[in-house]
A and B are shown apart, each in its own frame.
Chain A
Amino acid sequence: MEQTAPDISQLSFEDALRALEDVVRRLEGGEVPLDESIDLYERGEKLRKHCQARLDAAQARIEKIVAGPDGKPSGTAPFDGG
């Protein structure tokens, strides 16, 4: 149930967001003991930063596949969006 910080970096955005939502729900549920809620909050912050980093890293990068003579892709080239 409790996952340590290194695991967060391995989480996909969706999983991290879900985990964050879970953290928030649990915090909002008010059933969490005080000490645990502090740990939970810290974990929530890490999850949030992880998600935020993923969002911040979002940038458009458009490529097109360049096929070789055999019809198989040999690489990519910038796509000029004709």
Chain B
Amino acid sequence: MPGLPFDDNMSSGGLVAKASRGDNAAPLSITEISTRLKRAVEDQFGHVKLRGELSGVKRAASGHLYCALKDEKAVIDGVMWKGNAQRLSFLPEDGIEVIASGKLTTYPGRSKYQIVIDSMEIAGEGALLALLEKTRKRLEAEGLFAPERKRALPFIPRRIGVVTSPTGAVIRDILHRLADRFPSHVMVWPVMVQGQGSAEQVAHAVRGFGQLPDDVRPDLLIVARGGGSIEDLWSFNEEVVVRAIADSSIPIISAVGHETDTTLADFAADRRAPTPTAAAEIAVPVLRDLAATLDEYAFRQRKCALRPVDLGRERLEARANRLPKPEALLQQSTQKLDDLGERLRRGLADCASTARERLQADRARLSVHMLQRPVQEGRLRLDAQGNRLGAGLRQAVQLGERRLDQAGAGLRPALIRARIDRARGMLDSFSRVLPQLDPDKPLERGYARVIASDNRTMTSQKAASAEARLTLKFHDGELEVVTGSPPLRKPGRTPPASPAEQGDLF
């Protein structure tokens, strides 16, 4: 049989075989045969489940969905009436492998058979992912996921809208973490997050938040769902949700499934959080951190407030340091003063010594010159006078000498010489007489002269007898003799000198 996946109980089915039944060969009308065929097909294939790839998918204006299911060798048309088509949990697309459930029926007007699909599911996870990828590419091509569409999240949202199931761990996790970090005003829009109609609810909630009046509208949305299979999360891959998120006037954080699950809603959201708890962490800062930051700023600000003062003080000090020290300022003057003082002293000393020198010079001049000069002058004058005097004297002397000479010349030498000759003659005569008159001359002839101890010459016996001792003087010596008579008188009282002595005197 051609490769249609008929059930076992349908193996005997066939148009020709049926038609050949009956012994009467009366021909059947087309309508009759078509009706009988239809009945047969619908009886036999009242409920079939076909697996095939969608092809020629077309949604009519009526809302009915027309398509074909095919495999490598066969194809069968299919139709899904509006009511069922609306309940599809995915958007049928060509190339998606599906499992369609329904009944076979014929379309006598066109000699066709087809399957009326009651429900259609994607044939396995691989097919689902393929569909997801196709949808993603399509929406991406539209620019729904473009980075430039992403909006910044408010730093501290005034109100946070949460689109999620009102029950379960997700909302608790979010509220708990929000309370931990930054207690906030949260508005929950309860939705189903799974199953029929959930995508519409989510999309409706997202749009609904955006349509709230300004005074209650949240400024941040969180669209969240807990972890699950790809099928569980499928609502968040649906285009209606993706478009609602992309079009939202309010920034959105998506938190669907676990970290490894990525839905198209995540692509469309402004931020993707790996988990609902993480969404809460992204949504609000930590109040304590902010308070600490504020405190730190306050501290730093307080610290800084006086910094210009400190800076000013430093700069002042820097300049003050560059000011010369008072000592240094005075040093030069001090040095100068010292110098001047030294010079003054030296000058004074110099002056004194100069004065002294001058004084001494003066004194010298005074003593030697000044005094001597008048003296010299006096002397000179004296000399002059003396000279004059001497000259006068010499003149007088010369005059006298001349006069003496004149007088001498007038004197006759002979006159004087005669007198000298006469005197010399007298002297000669006296000289001849004189030796004869020597009292001791006679001694040579034997006479002795008696002299007393006091050298008086005894000229009389009387005188001699008065002496105890006498000396006899010979011409060649003296001889001491003793008289016989005691001395009458003291030797000092000797009589005056004898005539001989007188003669001796002469």
Contacts and interface: CB of A to CB of B under 8 A. Distances in A.
Interface in A21-61: 21, 23-24, 27-28, 30, 32-34, 37-38, 41, 44-45, 48, 51-52, 54-55, 58-61
B294 A81 contact: no
A61 B290 CA distance: 20
Q: Which of A21, A23, A81 has the most CB of B within 10 A?
A: A81
Contacts of B312: 34
Given A32-B308, A58-B287, A64 B294 contact: no
Contact of A81 (B171, B183, B290, B300): B171
A24 B300 contact: yes
A69 interface: no
B183 A60 contact: yes
Contact of A63 (B178, B186, B204, B301): B186
Given A58-B182, A63-B188, A28 B172 contact: no
A41 B305 CA distance: 6
Contacts of A62: 175, 185-186, 188
A34 B308 contact: yes
A51 B166 CA distance: 33
Contacts of B172: 81
Nearest to A35: B308
A27 B304 contact: yes
Contact-residue size bin, chain B (C-beta under 8 Å from the other chain) = 35 or more
Contacts of A34: 308-309, 312
A45 B204 CA distance: 45
Contact of A54 (B156, B166, B309): B156
A62 B171 CA distance: 11
B290 A17 contact: yes
B312 to A, nearest CB: 6
Interface centre among B156, B168, B205 (most CB of A within 10 A): B156
Interface string B148-181: 0000001110000000001110011001001100
A51 to B, nearest CB: 5
Interface in B248-300: 287, 290-291, 293-294, 297-298, 300
B190 A27 contact: no
Contacts of B154: 12, 14
Nearest to A27: B304
Interface in B490-504: none
B294 A17 contact: yes
Interface in B52-82: none
A13 B155 CA distance: 8
Contacts of B183: 58-60
Given A52-B294, A71-B204, A79-B166, A64 B189 contact: yes
Contacts of A63: 185-188
Contacts of A59: 183
B28 interface: no
B190 A64 contact: yes
Given A17-B294, A51-B290, A65-B190, A44 B301 contact: yes
A76 interface: yes
Contacts, number: 119
Interface string B182-216: 11111111100000000000001100100110001
A23 B293 contact: no
Contact of B297 (A20, A32, A33): A20
A79 B301 contact: no
Contact of B308 (A13, A37, A55, A76): A37
Nearest to B208: A73
B311 interface: yes
B307 interface: yes
B209 to A, nearest CB: 8
Contacts of A52: 291, 294
Contact of B184 (A13, A30, A58, A81): A58
Contacts of A64: 166, 187-190
A71 B184 CA distance: 26
A65 B308 contact: no
A73 B75 CA distance: 48
Given A27-B307, A62-B186, A65-B189, A44 B297 contact: yes
Contacts of B168: 82
Contacts of A82: 166-168, 171
Contacts of A32: 308
A6 to B, nearest CB: 21
B156 A13 contact: yes
B300 A51 contact: no
Contacts of A17: 155, 290, 293-294
Given A12-B154, A58-B184, A63-B188, 6 more contacts: A34-B308, A41-B304, A45-B301, A60-B183, A62-B188, A67-B208
19 contacts: A13-B156, A24-B300, A27-B305, A30-B308, A30-B311, A34-B309, A37-B304, A37-B308, A41-B304, A45-B298, A45-B301, A48-B298, A60-B175, A60-B184, A62-B186, A63-B188, A76-B187, A79-B166, A82-B168
Interface of B: 154-156, 166-168, 171-172, 175, 178-179, 182-190, 204-205, 208, 211-212, 216, 287, 290-291, 293-294, 297-298, 300-301, 304-305, 307-309, 311-312
